[in-house]
Amino acid sequence: MNWLLGRYSVLFYAMLGNVAFGTGLMLGIGPEAILGGCLLLSLALSTLGLHDFFQKHSPVRANFPVLGRLRYLFESIRPELRQYFWEEDDAELPYSRNQRAMVYQRAKSEFATRPFGSIEAMYDEDFSWLNHSISPVEIQASDFPTTVGEGDMAYQASLLNISGTSFGALSPPAIEALNRGAAQGNFAHNTGEGSVSPYHVAGGGDLILQVSTGYFGFRTPTGDLDEKRFEAQANRSQIKMIEIKLSQGAKPGHGGMLPGAKVNREIASTRGIPEGLDCLSPAVHRAFNSPLTLLNFADKLRHLSGGKPVGIKLCIGHPWELIAIVKTMVETRLVLDFITVDGAEGGTGAAPAEFSDHLGCPLTDAVVFADNCLRGAGLRERVKIAASGKLVSAFDIVRHCALGADWVNMARPFMFALGCIQARSCASDHCPTGIATMDPSRYRVLDIPLKANRVANFHRNTLDAVGELIGAAGIHHPSALTRRHIVRRLSGSEILLADQIYPSIANGQLFTDEPIADPRLAVYWDRVGQDQFSPITPVEGPAGPVAQPRNSID
């Protein structure tokens, strides 16, 4: 039965077809073209089936010749089938259908209101909302700018900007469309670690130059920072701020690699690396190994760039590391202009599953901690906080501003505005929309002017929604939001303000005798110093001293 109707049936009937159709051709029974075509098909199936039957690599194919291959076909299209047919509208994998639809509608400036009421489960745990006012205010269209840095080179950052998008990870027309959209909407575009490409420049929009562990675009042959090349790049008029990338939320503590097959002449020239060889970015910087040397490095970059704002980007891990940086800023007066807090929810083209799923602090908790650190040290007004990591809606922006952010960065929502369909094939170079690929036959379909308009539309319509939200709360600017504006449900019968959930620190409280509500600051503030990222003294645990963590540079 296995041969007639079971697992070997395709192989059996293909071989039977070989005999039948071959005999028919030899005896001249029936049209030769049809018999010949059927014979070729049966020969192909029987050859494939025999190969499957005798091979040793796949037990499924050996036990189910030809039929076993359907498993791989269905697995390959499973994400598409799930997205189109079985996925719930609010299932975030990683972005829900509702979230993607909202971006598409705003990018096209389409009618985006929702009929018949909310579909949110408002009595589920973790549901959050913004408290409104009985005296709402009218907000005029605005970018809600935040001043970053000091002096003539201070930058007016929009409330919403494009997060790091490297040339090579995204295609040439995708980079140019994003930057042209940023120019139209008067907001900034982060270059990502791949440095400034011709396509970033062609767009004409404001750029945030990212300095990664590989120092791409301004590196020496040995992989160190080339100060002269950096100075030439950083003094471009398009460059508005400098961001030192310490880690990213999608894979904190992990370096990156661009396969040599993707390192064409253009990417090699942009990054300053050999053509055709794997492009590796280390997990740590070679230019510094302590809070003090980090701040000295940042000060050097500020000087080389002519005084432009300089900050860091990190996914928060060990709390004492950020505390050490903040404390060193207080002691040395070498102050960063901003800190980009990247949540563990952040996206990337490719990352190990364990790094994406179980490493790094999620964004909400990270923003609260960064805000507490700076506020307790008396630096909150001087050092701005940017938040990034799976933000998409106006409410996401408002909520994180209330928790402590000054502005937010988004990458994947702007990719949706370009036409991304969340196929999750970014690492394969087979992106179906031409956005995350270096294949010219795929990215030729991107119309740069059209996509740039959609990028600008998404930015404008999202900020208009922010204005309506904060206006309903009786507030004129997101900077006036506090944790008392956000309410979170803890159970079916219990709600608390965010101010009651998260520990709060008064301005400069770390220099007083008042009790510190944030236990991380209370424990580590007096145990960190300028010369190492790890605590100076061992921390007492329930069973005695806990082993002192090693310096992250070791």
What pLDDT, in 10s, does the model give residues 1-18?
667 777 888 888 888 888
Long-range CB pairs of 504-511 (<8 Å, 24+ gap) are: 504/372, 505/372, 505/375, 505/376, 506/375, 506/376, 507/375, 507/376, 507/378, 507/380, 508/376, 508/377, 508/378, 509/375, 509/376, 510/376, 510/377, 510/378, 511/378
- Overall average pLDDT of the 76-100 stretch: 71
Q: How far apart are CA 440 and CA 143, in angstroms?
A: 35
Q: Out of 224-228, 274-278, 323-327, 538-542, which region has the weakest mean confidence (pLDDT)? A: 538-542
Q: How much of the chain, in percent, has pLDDT values that exceed 70?
A: 90
Instruction: Give residue 349's pLDDT.
Output: 56
* 8 Å CB contact between 107 and 413: no
* pLDDT, averaged across the chain: 88
In terms of Cβ atoms closer than 10 Å to its own Cβ (0-12, 13-18, 19+), residue 152 is exposed
Q: Where are the beta strands (DSSP E) in 361-463?
A: 384-388, 407-410
Q: Out of 52-66, 289-303, 400-414, which region has the weakest mean confidence (pLDDT)? A: 52-66
Q: Candidates 3.60.20.10, 3.20.20.70, 3.40.50.920, 3.40.50.300; correct CATH number of 146-422+441-495?
A: 3.20.20.70
Instruction: Give residue 356's pLDDT.
Output: 66
* 8 Å CB contact between 311 and 335: no
In terms of Cβ atoms closer than 10 Å to its own Cβ (0-12, 13-18, 19+), residue 73 is exposed
The better pLDDT of the pair 327, 62 is held by 327
**Per-domain residue ranges of the chain:** 9-69, 146-422+441-495, 500-546
Quickly tell me which residue has 């942009």 as its tokens: 270
pLDDT in tens, 172-184: 999 999 999 999 9
Instruction: Give residue 549's pLDDT.
Output: 40
Enter the pTM of the model: 0.84
Q: How far is CA 507 from CA 337, 377, 381, 403, 467, in A?
A: 18, 7, 10, 15, 28
